[in-house]
Amino acid sequence: MNSRWNNYKKSRFHKFILRHQKYAPIIFFVGGFIFDSLTLGRIDRVYDLTVLCLHMSALTLTLYLYNLTDDGAWENTILKRAEDYFPLAIQFFFGGLSSAYVIYFSRSVSLSKTVSFFIILIALFLANEFLKKRISNKYLQFSIYFFINFTFFTFMIPVFIKAMSPTIFLISGLASLFSTIILITFIYVKSPSTRQEIRLGKLVTLILSIYISINIFYHFKLIPPVPLALQTGIIAHNVVKKNNNYIVTYEQKEKYIFWRDYNSKFIHNPDKPVYIFSSIFAPTALKKSIIHRWNWYNSTLEQWVTLDNIRFDITGGRNNGYRGYSYKNNIIPGLWKVEVLTEEELLLGVIDFEIINDTTQHPKRLIEKTF
C-alpha cells in the first residue's frame, strides 16, 4: 500500500513538473538562491564549505548526466526516471552557488565601482531565462558553469591556503579553466549528440574569452576582493580601545536612512580629530594589510584628491570582523570619502561624508557603541 501511494505521489509530482516546465527552471534557480541565503553564514565554517563543495560537485555530475541524456546513455537504468529533473537540478545548483557569491559580496558597506561586476553576475544568470532553448543551450550552459566554477575557486583557495594575492587569484582562475575544459572534453568524447550540437573550438574560445575578461576586471580592480568583506564602516567623533573592545562615539543617522549607520553630515570641531572605524570579515587565519585612503573633493579642480593612506594589518577569524581605525587632524571642510582597500588596492568599501567645521553647533544624536 505504501509503495503504491509513493508511486502515486511521484507520478503527480512528475506531471506537475511537466505541466509547469516553462516556469520550473526559474523556480528551482530561485529556490537554490533562497536556500543558501537562509543557511550560509561564514565562508570558513565547516557547514558553508561542505555545502558549497557539495553544490559544485553535484552541479558537475548533473551536467555530465544531463548532456548524455539525448544519447540514451541512461536507458534501462534507474537514472532514466530522473532525466526530466536534471535541468531543474542544474538550475538549483546554479542558484545555490551564485547566491553564496552574492551573500559574501553584498556584505561590503558600499558596492562602489565593483557594482559593475555584480550586475554582470546577475545578468549572466538571468540571461538563461530569455533564451529560447534555456538550459539546453550548451554554449550558455558551460559558460555559466565556468563563471560559477571560477568564483568557487576564488573563494575556496584563499580559505584553504590562508592567503590572498594576485598570484593566488591567477591560480584560482587556472584551476577553474582547466577543470572546466576537462569536463567539456570528457562530455564531448562521451556524447555524440554534444558533438553534433557544438563546435568544440568555438566553445573553448568562448570559455577563454570569459577567462580573459574576468582577469581584465581584476587588473582594473573591478572585482571585489572575496572572501574579504567590509562589515562596518563609520565616521566617528572618538574611538577608544578598552579590554579588547572598541568604543565608538558617532552621530546616529536618521531612521529612514537604512543603508548606513552614521550621519554623513559631520559637525566637526577644528581642534579635534576625525576618526574612521571599520570592521572587516576575513576567514580564519587569513592575514592581510588594509589601507584607509582619505580623499577630499577639491571643488575648484572638480576632482578627488588623495590626502593620506593609513595602513594596518588584520588577522581573520573573528565573527564580527577584524576591527581597526584611523584618524586625521586639521581636516579640511567639504566632501570626503575614505576608501577601505586591500594592500593590492582592491576596494572593500567606501565611507563617504561631509565635514562641516562649526564650533557653535554640536551633534544632537551622539551614541556610544561597543564593537
pLDDT tens column, 150-178 = 989 988 898 888 878 888 999 999 999 99
Which SS3 state, helix, strand or coil, does residue 309 take?
A: strand
**Angle subtended at Cα 207 by Cα 204 and Cα 209, rounded to the nearest 5 degrees:** 110
Q: What is the pLDDT of residue 257?
A: 74
Q: Is it true that the peptide bond before 227 is cis, omega within 30 degrees of 0?
A: yes
| Rounded Cα–Cα distance for residues 118 and 120 (Å) | 5
Q: What is the pLDDT of residue 3?
A: 47
Sequence-distant (≥ 6) Cβ neighbours of residue 24 within 8 angstroms: 17, 88
For the question of whether the overall pTM of this predicted structure is more than 0.95, the answer is no
Per the document, the length of the chain is: 371
Query: What secondary structure does DSSP assign to 316-362, as a single string?
Result: ---TT-EEEEEEESSPPSEEEEEEEEETT--EEEEEEEEEEE-SS--
Q: What is the pLDDT of residue 190?
A: 93
Instruction: Cell 570569459: give the residue.
Output: 210
| Rounded Cα–Cα distance for residues 146 and 181 (Å) | 9
Virtual torsion, Cα 247, 250, 255, 258, nearest 10 deg: -80
Question: Would residue 17 be called left, alpha or beta, if left means φ above 0 and alpha means ψ between -120 and 50 degrees?
Answer: alpha
Indicate the helix (H) or strand (E) that contains 49.
helix 46-67
Asked whether 17 and 84 are in contact (CB, 8 A), the reply is yes
Positive/negative CA dihedral, 85, 104, 266, 251: positive
| Rounded Cα–Cα distance for residues 136 and 67 (Å) | 9
| Rounded Cα–Cα distance for residues 26 and 95 (Å) | 9
Instruction: Cell 570528457: give the residue.
Output: 186
- Name the fold adopted by 229-370: Immunoglobulin-like (2.60.40)
pLDDT in tens, 291-347: 999 999 999 999 999 999 999 887 665 666 678 899 999 899 999 999 999 888 888
Instruction: Cell 541524456: give the residue.
Output: 69
pLDDT in tens, 194-204: 999 899 999 99
CA distances from 204 to 3, 135, 214 (A): 47, 18, 15
**234 strand-pairing partners:** 277
Where does CATH 2.60.40.1930 sit in the chain?
229-370
Indicate the helix (H) or strand (E) that contains 33.
helix 24-39
Positive/negative CA dihedral, 355, 359, 360, 361: positive
The conformation of residue 253, written as its DSSP 8-state character, comes to P
Q: What are phi and psi of 193, to 5 degrees?
A: -65, -35
| Rounded Cα–Cα distance for residues 300 and 297 (Å) | 9
Q: What is the pLDDT of residue 371?
A: 85
**297 strand-pairing partners:** 304
Stretches where the chain sits below pLDDT 70 are: 1-33, 35-38, 40-42, 103-136, 258-259, 284-286, 315-321
| Rounded Cα–Cα distance for residues 123 and 326 (Å) | 37
Q: What is the pLDDT of residue 222?
A: 75
Query: What secondary structure does DSSP assign to 137-179, as a single string?
Result: -HHHHHHHHHHHHHHHHHHHHHHHHT---HHHHHHHHHHHHHH
Instruction: Cell 536507458: give the residue.
Output: 75
